[in-house]
Structure 1
Amino acid sequence: MVQEGFAYAGGGCDIEPRPVRAKSAFWSSGHTPTLIAAFLYFDLAFMVWVLLGPLAPEIAKTLHLTAAEKGLMVATPTLAGAILRVVNGLLVDRIGPKRSGAISQVIVIAGLLFAWGMGVNSFAGTLALGVILGFAGASFAIALPLASRWYPPEHQGKAMGLAGMGNSGTVLAALFAPTLAKLFGWNAVLGLACIPLSIVFVAYMLMAKDPPNAPAPKRLIEYFEPLKRADAWWFMGFYAVTFGGFVGLAASLTIYFTDQFGLSTVMAGYCTAGCVFAGSLVRPMGGALADAIGGVKTLSAVFVVAALALAGVSGAPTVSTALGLFVMAMLALGAGNGAVFQLVPQRFASEIGVMTGLVGMAGGVGGFYLASSLGIAKQFTGTYQPGFLIFSGLALLAFAGLALVKTRWRNSWAAAEGVRI
């Protein structure tokens, strides 16, 4: 129900009127089948997006890859996904999220089938496959607007968190890919992945529905208008740390546990799955917590905890110590992912499609940096320590940046919006 009166989407000349909605119960305020479809699509897309990570030890043995090549191989899908998120953000606003998601899913399934049938026989081939898997990572810019546009501002944190919990698909990859690779060979895993992807594609087409309040298409140049505002860059920077840390670790931990502690690929996959599950589980909790106490407070705690945990990991002497610290880091980063996307719709409600793409791109770039830097650090220093310490420093830098902008946010666009950040 829409009441009389208006809220405002931003400060200064960026202010524009928007109807104030009466608060309603979460499950009755949106479209549940679409929310479920967005989650399923996101979940399976993320499963294959990081698929090269759990398979990396076996692929490296077959193709005789160096540590730096392994790092670049698992980082390539994150970079491709980062770039394609912007493309998908534009596509969502032009043809709608449902059709955009359908196109992306078909590309990924076809690419995996081709790779399985033809085989991947070189390092260059793994990079080409990584680019195809980037389309799966770009699902972020489709699934989140598909869900978000159905829900009012007071439920954005929960809606985005539940849809975004699809990053739990990385758990499936870590749990099952190493075991299936041992049983059937790592190339067969590429074909086997198409089975659940195809099932989810059918469910998505049946359940998903484009939201009724989609913005009218704009000229191409207008989609990049948010980049003229400093707040867009702040959100991109914060997400580069929270999501970049999450996906970078998800792609790299199987390699880390096998190289650092000599674990089997299956056991390393189980350890990775435990860490990734922690980060995935708390994403909706992070959104809900940000709804309750404010995204700024939530993010402030996230950056401090993540920085301490990653700094501790750099010198962890045992598997159990490293595992505990990784779980702590992933809990913080997962909550941070939900908190960032509690804030973004409050500031850029009318541009949520392209902002999801831009912020998601930054997250992918952060993941590419972390995964590739860990491989480079191992190649040239013999240890992963520099990679972890630098990213810990980036988390502290993000904390300092948030401290600089939070007062302005609360006094300008958050105050005009009437929301708690």
Structure 2
Amino acid sequence: MSAPAVAVRVPRGAYTNLILAALGFLLTAWAWGLISPLSAYYKSHLGLSSVQQSVLVAVPVLVGSLGRIPVGALTDVLGARRMLPAIAFLTIVPVLLLTVARDSYPAMLVVGFLLGIGGTPFAAAIPHGNGWFPPTKRGMALGVIGMGMGGTAIAALLTKPMREIGPNAQFYLCAAVLAVYGVVAWLVLRDPPGRTVPAEPFSRRFTDAARQPMTWPLSGLYAVTFGGYVSFAVYLVTYLQSQYGLEQGDASLKAAGFTLVAVLFRPPGGWLSDRVGAAKVLSVCLAVLAVMAAWQAFAPPLYPWATFTFLVMAAMLGAGAGAVFSLLAQVMPGPKVGAVTGIVGAVGGLGGFVPPLVMGAVYGATGSYTIGLLLLALVALGALAYTWSQRNRRPAVDASPAPPLPKTR
């Protein structure tokens, strides 16, 4: 007779720490996304071209993406218990600077650069959640953390009502909430039981992470899924205003709906990947994404076709991003997750930096978004071809034991 399966227990405090990590990413992502819903205002107020507007929107994405590499490495050493509240406090600075920088394009670029700090906690929250949960539950846990990207939806949803209160009302509110979170996180967050501090220097850990066989394929897949989500999250308001003539408030609400759908589908993407395989889930997501992007390239009517198309694309991007990190949690040993997450998260974020620039340049040159959306469809098909080729390959599952349960007094 075969030995009975041993139930894997989740350590005490795991869910509290998971929620706090996801909340930290959510609130800093709110700050990270403050410029995008106002991009049309800044374009008009500062007399910007389409390319300059795209650059203003994309700069926080670039910095937040590249910043995940050092944040992931620092998290390996210092732990998310220190990193998450520290990043929350640091993000307050550029949020408050938004109240005085709106009359200067160079000043706005500097503030956008600093706002990139708000996009980096992902690289701290992912290894934190990974350390608290056993391998069989990490897809779900990392999907919950990924829901933190819904912070960009908060920025979009609050833009219109908060501006009716005052032009800087949302900035002050965001700064206050970040301050409260920073204090709570500092007092309540705990590092995973059994967490070990790597003895190797950052350069060696980064090189080792970069040499892992799956690091760069995962990075490319995340650039398509998460990068696609980010690019729409920051550029969809501009697209809807230019393509369909929507007012800022209406476009912001629709962009927020896109973000919320993507966020809600991320945990199911990780959950399904734990059960049927990440490559299979991701293949379906990429196939549907390619079809929807090709269809939207021809600018169907906003109601109902374009609305339906963007909601389906949001679901596929969210679930696909969850599948990518479910796979990462399976194939990477625990001590390397922080460094690898930094690389994968950085490349994924860069996937969100490039499309807004391409879309702005294409629209400025042709007056149409057709070429940009067709390029998205082609990239999704390329990612699908690779993912489908890996569907039967069994990943080298992290065989490290589940973290020990904390002792009770």
TM-score, normalised to structure 2, is 0.91
SS in 2 for 1:353: helix
Equivalent residues of 1:145, 1:353 under 8 A apart? yes
Correspondence 1:121 to 2:106: no
Give the Cα–Cα distance (whole angstroms) in 2 for the partners of residues 232 and 47 of structure 1. 28
Correspondence 1:335 to 2:319: yes
Give the Cα–Cα distance (whole angstroms) in 1 for the partners of residues 226 and 53 of structure 2. 21
Instruction: For 2:73, give the aligned amino acid.
Output: L
Residue in 2 that maps onto 1:173:
155
Equivalent residues of 1:30, 1:151 under 8 A apart? no
- Which residue among 270, 286, 302 is the counterpart of 1:319? 302
Residue in 1 that maps onto 2:69:
86
For structure 1, the residue ranges without an aligned partner over 5 or more in a row are 1-20
Instruction: For 1:209, give the aligned amino acid.
Output: R
Instruction: For 1:234, give the aligned amino acid.
Output: P
Deviation at 1:263, TM superposition (A): 0.9
Residue in 2 that maps onto 1:24:
8
For structure 2, the residue ranges without an aligned partner over 5 or more in a row are 401-409
Deviation at 1:361, TM superposition (A): 0.3
Give the Cα–Cα distance (whole angstroms) in 2 for the partners of residues 380 and 50 of structure 1. 27
Q: How many residues align?
A: 393
Distance 1:254 1:93, change over 3 A: same
Give the Cα–Cα distance (whole angstroms) in 1 for the partners of residues 25 and 254 of structure 2. 22
Give the Cα–Cα distance (whole angstroms) in 2 for the partners of residues 373 and 308 of structure 1. 20
- Which residue among 2, 11, 22 is the counterpart of 1:39? 22
Give the Cα–Cα distance (whole angstroms) in 2 for the partners of residues 200 and 389 of structure 1. 41
SS in 2 for 1:24: coil
Give the Cα–Cα distance (whole angstroms) in 2 for the partners of residues 76 and 317 of structure 1. 30
Correspondence 1:159 to 2:141: yes
Residue in 2 that maps onto 1:61:
44
Give the Cα–Cα distance (whole angstroms) in 2 for the partners of residues 114 and 53 of structure 1. 16
Correspondence 1:345 to 2:329: yes
Give the Cα–Cα distance (whole angstroms) in 2 for the partners of residues 240 and 340 of structure 1. 10
Give the Cα–Cα distance (whole angstroms) in 2 for the partners of residues 203 and 147 of structure 1. 18
Give the Cα–Cα distance (whole angstroms) in 2 for the partners of residues 23 and 311 of structure 1. 46
Deviation at 1:172, TM superposition (A): 0.8
Residue in 1 that maps onto 2:406:
none
Residue in 2 that maps onto 1:135:
117
Deviation at 1:126, TM superposition (A): 2.0
Correspondence 1:206 to 2:187: yes
Give the Cα–Cα distance (whole angstroms) in 2 for the partners of residues 378 and 312 of structure 1. 18
TM alignment of 1:373-412, pairs within 5 A: 373-407=358-392, 409-410=393-394
Give the Cα–Cα distance (whole angstroms) in 2 for the partners of residues 309 and 324 of structure 1. 9
Equivalent residues of 1:29, 1:152 under 8 A apart? no
Give the Cα–Cα distance (whole angstroms) in 2 for the partners of residues 181 and 380 of structure 1. 33
SS in 1 for 2:67: helix
Deviation at 1:123, TM superposition (A): 2.0
Deviation at 1:111, TM superposition (A): 2.1
SS in 2 for 1:193: helix
Moved more, 314-323 or 364-373: 314-323
Residue in 2 that maps onto 1:145:
127
Instruction: For 1:127, give the aligned amino acid.
Output: L
Residue in 1 that maps onto 2:257:
274
Equivalent residues of 1:93, 1:354 under 8 A apart? yes
Q: 1:162-213, CA deviations, whole angstroms, 9 ceiling, x for partnerless residues?
A: 121111112111111133235422x553333212222222222232111122
Residue in 1 that maps onto 2:234:
251
Deviation at 1:413, TM superposition (A): 2.0
Give the Cα–Cα distance (whole angstroms) in 1 for the partners of residues 19 and 399 of structure 2. 32
Give the Cα–Cα distance (whole angstroms) in 2 for the partners of residues 133 and 202 of structure 1. 20
Instruction: For 1:264, give the aligned amino acid.
Output: E
Moved more, 57-66 or 309-318: 309-318
Instruction: For 2:325, give the aligned amino acid.
Output: F
TM alignment of 1:346-361, pairs within 5 A: 346-349=330-333, 350-361=335-346
| Identical counterparts, % of pairs | 33
